[in-house]
Amino acid sequence: MRSDRGQRAPLGLKIAAACGLLFLHLPILLIFVYAFTTEEKSFVWPPPGLTTQWFAVTWNRPDVWDALSLSVRVAAISTAIALVLGTLCAAAVSQTRFFGREAISLLVILPIALPGIITGIALRSAFSLADIPFSFWTIVLGHATFCVVVVYNNAVARFRRTSGSMIEASMDLGADGFQTFRHVVLPNIATALLAGGMLAFALSFDEVIVTTFTAGQQQTVPIWMLEELIRPRQRPVTNVVAMVVVLVTLLPILFAYYLTRDGDQIAGSGK
Amino acid sequence: MTSAVSFKQVSRHFGSVRAVDAVDLEIAPGEFFAMLGPSGSGKTTCLRLIAGFEQPTAGSISIFGERAEGVPPYRRNVNTVFQDYALFPHLNVLDNVAYGLMVKGVGKASRLKAAEEALSLVRLPGYGARRPGQLSGGQRQRVALARALVNQPKVLLLDEPLGALDLKLRENMQEELKSLQKALGITFVFVTHDQGEALSMADRVAVFNDGRIMQVGTPEDIYQRPNTRFVADFVGSSNVLPPDFVQRYSGQHRWGSLRPESIRVSSATSGDGVAARLVGTNYLGATTRLAFDAEGLRLHAVVPAGTALPAEGGAVMLTFNRDSLHLMDEPA
């Protein structure tokens, strides 16, 4: 809009844009509305009445808390693993030259390019081949495969914009490897890591496909929701949880978006 | 007296590329030493060998008598001013300068005081609170200099320090670097591909080509008495004269060099001298550079601006003093 010098868009275009946005976001608002409905067996429109009792009911359901806590723990640990491995990998690929460098950067990105179902089946057969029982750690492993990609992508882009001689300058001034990482590398990639980490957390939190193959009998939040929809019982509870999930994933993504946007100035100012 | 930097048969090979090949070099303490050469000649690799970013494939390096092989950059009393300055974008100027002292564990008050003093030394007092991104190229260069000098290095390495500056700034910085080096008495080693810069700043110059040192000497030595065709050609574009030509004038069958400014041009068509034809003129401001063709040999002469010149293609006679014909060591 800014480029056409304050000219107003034609009415038709405005209506089309509004319809597009409504189409995208109205279903999400519906989910919020159903969290307050008095009808618990099925979703009827309009809601026969409005109540906030489902928040209390949800609060007292132990299965909700189990699923939420599992999801948060899995997302936190997967993100932590991804932060370490993704950063190391990005550093290796962008700072050094070695045989197979291009192949490695492709292989790292592959898990997110492959359909999740392939990753899921592959992991499941690998686990059963190795006789590894399903546990918290098998879910973490599955999630880490795609969390690493997100962190790697963010970190590698930042490393590319960071001058390589800065690390040499730090060593030259008397800083050993650890001090250089702490005082020069980390401050320069911190916002990229924060953004990558938040995206990874959000991805892990609502992941379904890989989780179904690696979770066994455990339920993360998305899996618990699917089960709830199949066996209806206090249906609006699902909507309450859905609201929480939307907020939990949306806020970090928004935050990450603003961080990487500002990051351009931070990384580019040294050149 | 121990040398500030000493190379004994030092080589650095990258696979089959001999970046530095069996180099012997002695740099005296307190010297302003230039490494001059075209790109890819090994001069920057030599600098990185002194800094510790590269390890020699063979040979030994010592810095003030201490063996340097295997010693990492952060344990050498040597600091570098990088070509792209490599300032830390996330720190302000004062913290940039104080960085070396900070990682050595110097207390905050005394390291910031030392950094402020270093900034005054490079004539940037009061710039401490700014970010590197807010400075001009010349100012960043000074910050990089202050950041290196605050550590009181025994040897300061400068990698093409003036390469990114415009002409006027470069001339100012040349003088300033030189007077700074005199005042501090620190050994400066600087790498450049600009022969004018090397000749005007350095006490001694090493001319590099293909990973080897072709000649080491004072600027005057290098300029007046090049020992090889490469040095004669690279430093100030001397006329390189083939042995047959030299034999006619000196009686010796050797390669010779003749500075363009020692050739006199006369429009006489007969007499003693080299008959030649003017094929090109290049106006350079204070001087004019002329290209001649003397029986297939290309000769250049530099004459003061305003000298009466023959028309292009005109026949001239070139004369020079026998003394100014320098015979080179290179075998004929």
Tens of pLDDT, residues B22-55: 999 999 999 999 999 998 899 999 999 999 999 9
Distance CA A155, CA B189 (A): 36
Question: How much is the pLDDT for A237?
Answer: 84
Domain encompassing residue A257: 57-268
Write down the mean pLDDT value for chain A. Answer: 83
Question: How much is the pLDDT for A5?
Answer: 57
**Is the CB of residue B140 less than 8 Å from the CB of residue B87?**
yes
Same domain, B270 and B174: no
pLDDT of B101 above 80: yes
Mean pLDDT of A237-250: 82
Report if residue A1 sits inside a domain.
Answer: no
Hey, of B83, B85, B90, which one would you mutate to test binding to chain A, going by the most A CBs within 10 A of its CB? Answer: B90
Count Cβ neighbours within 10 Å for each residue of B250-264 and write b for 16 or more, e otherwise. eeeebbbbbbbebbe
Q: Chain A residues with CB inside 8 Å of B148's CB?
A: 172-173
Question: How much is the pLDDT for A260?
Answer: 67
Would you call B27 helix, strand, or coil by DSSP? strand
Same domain, B218 and B266: no
Same domain, A99 and A159: yes
Same domain, B142 and B271: no
Do the chains contact at B99 and A175, CB–CB below 8 Å? yes
The pair of three-digit structure tokens given for residue B67, joined into one six-digit string = 């063996």
Per-residue pLDDT tens over the stretch A201-211: 888 888 888 88
Per-residue pLDDT tens over the stretch B297-308: 888 888 888 777
Which of A208-217, A252-261, B133-142 comes out lowest in average pLDDT?
A: A252-261
Q: Enter the pTM of the model.
A: 0.77
Q: Phi and psi dihedrals of A4, rounded to 5?
A: -95, 40
Same domain, A44 and A62: no
Same domain, A115 and A185: yes
pLDDT of A77 above 90: yes
Report if residue A187 sits inside a domain.
Answer: yes
pLDDT of B214 above 60: yes
Same domain, A47 and A174: no
The side-by-side arrangement of strands in the sheet containing B287-294 is: B263-266, B315-320, B274-283, B287-294, B297-304
Mean pLDDT of A20-42: 83
Same domain, A34 and A155: no
When divided into structural domains, chain B yields a total of 2
pLDDT of B16 above 90: no
When divided into structural domains, chain A yields a total of 2
Same domain, A115 and A214: yes
| Pick from B265, B262, B264, B208: nearest CA to B235 | B208
**Is the CB of residue B33 less than 8 Å from the CB of residue B187?**
yes
Same domain, A196 and A114: yes
Q: Chain A residues with CB inside 8 Å of B54's CB?
A: none
Same domain, B285 and B317: yes
| Pick from B75, B77, B156: nearest CA to B122 | B156
The residue among B190, B225, B260 that closes a domain is: B225
Residue of B nearest to A191 (CA): B90
Same domain, B218 and B268: no
Report if residue A97 sits inside a domain.
Answer: yes
pLDDT of A235 above 90: no
pLDDT of A4 above 60: no
Report if residue A3 sits inside a domain.
Answer: no
A187 interfacial to chain B (CB closer than 8 Å): yes
The pair of three-digit structure tokens given for residue A170, joined into one six-digit string = 């730090």
The residue among B167, B190, B225 that closes a domain is: B225
| Pick from A82, A102, A195, A100: nearest CA to A145 | A82
| Pick from B155, B43, B139, B51: nearest CA to B87 | B139
Same domain, A62 and A25: no
A96 interfacial to chain B (CB closer than 8 Å): no
Shortest distance, CA B233 to any CA of chain A (angstroms): 33
Distance CA A92, CA A89 (A): 5
Report if residue A61 sits inside a domain.
Answer: yes
Beta bridge partners of B25: B7
Of B74, B90, B102, the CB nearest to A187: B90
Same domain, B35 and B71: yes
Residues of B with a Cβ under 8 Å from any A Cβ are: 51-53, 72-75, 78-80, 82-84, 86-90, 99-100, 102-104, 131-133, 147-148, 151
| Pick from B205, B224, B226: nearest CA to B216 | B205
Shortest distance, CA A250 to any CA of chain B (angstroms): 29
Do the chains contact at B133 and A163, CB–CB below 8 Å? no
pLDDT band of residue A270 (cuts 50, 70, 90) is very low
Distance CA B208, CA A189 (A): 39
Residue of B nearest to A168 (CA): B53
The residue among B225, B260, B278 that closes a domain is: B225
Report if residue B164 sits inside a domain.
Answer: yes
- HSE-CB of A149 using CA atoms within 13 angstroms: 15
pLDDT band of residue B322 (cuts 50, 70, 90) is confident
Shortest distance, CA A35 to any CA of chain B (angstroms): 47
- DSSP assignment of chain A: -GGGTTPPPPHHHHHHHHHHHHHHHHHHHHHHHHTTBS--SS--SS-S-B-SHHHHHHHT-HHHHHHHHHHHHHHHHHHHHHHHHHHHHHHHHHH---TTHHHHHHHHHHHHHS-HHHHHHHHHHHHHHTTPPP-HHHHHHHHHHHHHHHHHHHHHHHHHHS-THHHHHHHHTT--HHHHIIIIIHHHHHHHHHHHHHHHHHHHHT--HHHHHH-TT---HHHHHHHHHHS-SSTHHHHHHHHHHHHHHHHHHHHHHHHHHHHHHHHHTT-
Mean pLDDT of A244-258: 78
pLDDT band of residue A262 (cuts 50, 70, 90) is low
Would you call B171 helix, strand, or coil by DSSP? helix
Same domain, A63 and A23: no
- Domain at B322, CATH number: 2.40.50.140
* Peptide bond preceding A232 in cis form (omega within 30 of 0): no
Per-residue pLDDT tens over the stretch A158-207: 888 877 788 899 999 999 889 999 999 999 888 889 888 988 988 888 88
Report if residue B112 sits inside a domain.
Answer: yes
Q: Chain B residues with CB inside 8 Å of A163's CB?
A: 84, 86
Would you call B262 helix, strand, or coil by DSSP? helix
Same domain, A37 and A120: no
Same domain, A122 and A215: yes
Mean pLDDT of B163-184: 86
Same domain, B100 and B158: yes
- Domain at A68, CATH number: 1.10.3720.10
Per-residue pLDDT tens over the stretch B108-121: 999 999 999 999 98
The pair of three-digit structure tokens given for residue B66, joined into one six-digit string = 């201490």
Same domain, B265 and B316: yes
Do the chains contact at B84 and A165, CB–CB below 8 Å? yes
Same domain, B215 and B267: no
Same domain, B97 and B193: yes
Do the chains contact at A165 and B86, CB–CB below 8 Å? yes
Question: How much is the pLDDT for A6?
Answer: 60
Same domain, A15 and A138: no
Do the chains contact at A269 and B89, CB–CB below 8 Å? yes
Would you call B123 helix, strand, or coil by DSSP? coil
Same domain, B174 and B261: no
Question: How much is the pLDDT for A1?
Answer: 44
Q: Chain B residues with CB inside 8 Å of A179's CB?
A: 103
Report if residue B181 sits inside a domain.
Answer: yes
Question: How much is the pLDDT for A99?
Answer: 82
Domain encompassing residue B174: 5-225
Q: Chain A residues with CB inside 8 Å of B52's CB?
A: 171
Please report, as a single letter, which amino acid is at residue B86. Answer: A
pLDDT band of residue A266 (cuts 50, 70, 90) is very low
